């Protein structure tokens, strides 16, 4: 694929200069959503926009950001916030809490699109129906489709895909040999061979779209922000940690933020838009006194606007790994390690897929035994029922939030995983993989009963890094933003990132975040 813009440094506006400006719109957070909005809003020359980002400029991110196989190393760098959940209860009231789960998220221009595994797939259309459960209006798959299309140039050419968007996305033309064998094994064992598993209309197994162009990562900064940095109506301030939102009456008029120990303010004549992600946007609302009254008082934060849904409804895709050793040498990774996925149903009576299997060309670390050569089949419940919370302990903007996704606290998520494990084992035992000399190391063939596999699922898992829901959209009392992403009960304030997703889609979430931001840009342009 081609079309990746030539990287350029991301200039950082002097905060003192920004203080002297009156912006129309202030964006808080320079990740996927912030980059989209900065680019789309400044298409209007009469809109003056400020983008605040707590992390570094894109040019200061680690060099490994650009090279797809290196993405696992990025979690150990300053490009990741380094969050960890509270100890998880393993899903059973009698169980001792397990360790906290690392929850990587991007820190720097481009956000998580600069450190993620570069999978670009829409959820299956059926998974967006739940967005209306809280009264959200106009957020079904068909409503989002124009915004999915607007974000992408899909090289597959399948129906319903975008043809002129900033992101150039497509499946790898030459998947790792072991992954190709897994795909062949899936079809051999009765799974459907999909054509475009990223488009939201199909179930089955196929190479998934990746945002990799000419062998390099294409982040939100590469696709959206870098090409527009020369616009005179756009300022970008990096190293800017948002402290709190500023109000005149019930109207949000700006943001207080810190850079290198100094406190600054940015004023917005029209709107402030939170694009700091599921953890960042909810935390900023809470620090500003917007949220559940009791929890705010416990954190020592004065209640400004009671909104009980802030920080609630946190959920994520957990992933369980089946790790295999092979006698045949697995070739070195050329792409993102996980180039082929399957979307399937754990039960035939479901209305759509609720499981993802991802084939990974490396053996994941596991508690059973180290594996030097092999592959992994990841199993993830795509439509989890478990719900958790995000809280703060004080108004300190530099204190880490308290993150509890409450993984596997709903037994239905465990049952879905058991179905996925059974399918993964069938594929690993297929004739297509026989020549590889496959041996399951973790959980291991002796872990076979539903009870034993359930214990494994609840205790040996990781985050798939797709947290959503802490500022859920809808029209009921538990919603944080309305159907046009306006914070309920306040003026001049919206949220437009993964935090507004009320029910997680049945695929990796980055493509949906781009679509949400594209739609938010239309709302904002129409409002002004």
- Catalytic residue positions? 466
The dihedrals phi and psi of 63, each to the nearest 5 degrees, come to -60, -30
> Would you state the structure tokens that stand for residue 127, as one six-digit string?
């998974």
Yes or no: say if 506 and 353 are a contact pair by the CB < 8 Å rule: yes
Read off the DSSP letter of residue 244: E
User: What is the distance between the alpha carbons of residues 249 and 33, in angstroms, rounded to a whole number?
Assistant: 28
Can you tell me which residue has the tokens 């380094």?
82
Yes or no: say if 406 and 318 are a contact pair by the CB < 8 Å rule: no
Q: Strands, DSSP E only, in 426-492?
A: 438-442, 462-463
Q: In 243-384, which residue ranges form alpha helices assigned H by DSSP?
A: 277-287, 293-298
The kind and range of the H/E element at 419 are helix 411-428
What b/e sequence results for 200-212 when a residue is b if at least 16 CB atoms lie within 10 Å of its CB, and e otherwise?
bbbbbbbbbbbbb
Q: Which of 419, 517, 515, 412 is nearest to 148 (CA)?
A: 515
Residue 322 β-bridge partners:
377
**Measured between alpha carbons, how far is residue 174 from residues 171, 375, 402 in Å?**
9, 17, 42
**Mapping DSSP to helix (H, G, I), strand (E, B) and coil, where does residue 84 land?**
strand
What b/e sequence results for 435-468 when a residue is b if at least 16 CB atoms lie within 10 Å of its CB, and e otherwise?
ebebebbbbbeebeeeeebbbbbbbbbbbbbbbb
Yes or no: say if 141 and 156 are a contact pair by the CB < 8 Å rule: no
Q: Which of 162, 192, 212, 133 is nearest to 475 (CA)?
A: 133
Q: Strands, DSSP E only, in 329-465?
A: 340-344, 355-360, 374-381, 389-391, 402-404, 438-442, 462-463
Q: Which of 79, 11, 54, 109 is nearest to 243 (CA)?
A: 54
């Amino acid at each position: 694929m081609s079309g990746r813009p030539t990287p350029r440094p991301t200039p950082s506006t002097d905060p003192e200069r920004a203080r002297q400006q009156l912006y129309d719109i202030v964006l808080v957070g320079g990740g996927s959503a912030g980059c989209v909005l900065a680019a789309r809003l400044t298409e209007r020359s009469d809109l003056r926009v400020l983008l605040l980002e707590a992390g570094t400029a894109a040019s200061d991110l680690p060099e490994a950001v650009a090279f797809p196989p290196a993405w696992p190393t990025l979690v150990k760098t300053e490009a990741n916030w380094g969050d960890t959940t509270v100890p998880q209860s393993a899903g059973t009231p009698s169980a001792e809490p397990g360790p906290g789960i690392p929850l990587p998220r991007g820190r720097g221009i481009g956000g998580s699109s600069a450190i993620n595994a570069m999978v670009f797939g829409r959820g299956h259309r059926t998974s967006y129906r739940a967005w209306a459960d809280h009264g959200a209006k106009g957020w079904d798959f068909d409503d989002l489709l124009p915004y999915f299309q607007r974000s992408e140039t899909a090289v597959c050419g399948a129906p319903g895909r975008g043809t002129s968007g900033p992101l150039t996305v497509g499946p790898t033309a030459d998947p790792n040999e072991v992954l190709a064998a897994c795909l062949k094994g899936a079809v051999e064992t009765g799974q459907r061979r999909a054509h475009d598993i990223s488009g939201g209309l199909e179930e089955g197994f196929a190479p998934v779209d990746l945002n990799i162009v000419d062998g390099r990562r294409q982040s939100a900064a590469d696709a959206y922000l870098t090409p527009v940095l020369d616009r005179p109506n756009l300022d970008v301030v990096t190293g800017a940690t948002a402290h709190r939102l500023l109000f005149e009456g019930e109207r949000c008029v700006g943001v207080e933020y810190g850079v290198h120990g100094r406190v600054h303010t940015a004023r917005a004549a029209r709107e402030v838009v939170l694009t700091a992600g599921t953890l960042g946007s909810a935390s900023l609302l809470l620090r500003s006194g917007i949220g559940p009254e009791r929890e705010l008082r416990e954190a020592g934060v004065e209640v400004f606007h009671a909104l009980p849904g802030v920080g609630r409804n946190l959920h994520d895709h957990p992933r369980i790994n089946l790790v295999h050793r092979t006698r045949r040498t697995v070739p070195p990774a050329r792409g993102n390690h996980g180039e082929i996925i399957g979307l399937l149903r754990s039960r035939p009576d479901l209305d759509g897929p609720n499981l993802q299997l991802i084939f990974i060309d490396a053996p994941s670390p596991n508690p059973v035994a180290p594996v030097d050569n092999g592959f992994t089949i990841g199993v993830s419940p795509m439509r989890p029922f478990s719900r958790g919370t995000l809280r703060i302990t004080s108004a300190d903007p530099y204190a880490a939030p308290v993150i509890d996704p409450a993984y596997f606290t709903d037994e239905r998520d465990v049952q879905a995983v058991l179905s996925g494990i059974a399918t993964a084992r069938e594929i690993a035992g297929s004739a297509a993989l026989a020549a590889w000399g496959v041996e399951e190391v973790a959980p291991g063939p002796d872990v076979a009963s539903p009870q034993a596999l359930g214990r494994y699922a609840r205790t040996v898992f990781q985050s798939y890094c797709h947290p959503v829901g802490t500022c859920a959209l809808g029209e009921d009392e538990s919603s944080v933003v309305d159907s046009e992403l306006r914070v309920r009960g306040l003026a001049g304030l919206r949220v437009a990132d993964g935090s507004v997703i009320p029910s997680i889609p049945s695929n990796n979430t980055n493509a949906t975040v781009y679509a949400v931001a594209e739609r938010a840009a239309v709302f904002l342009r129409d409002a002004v």
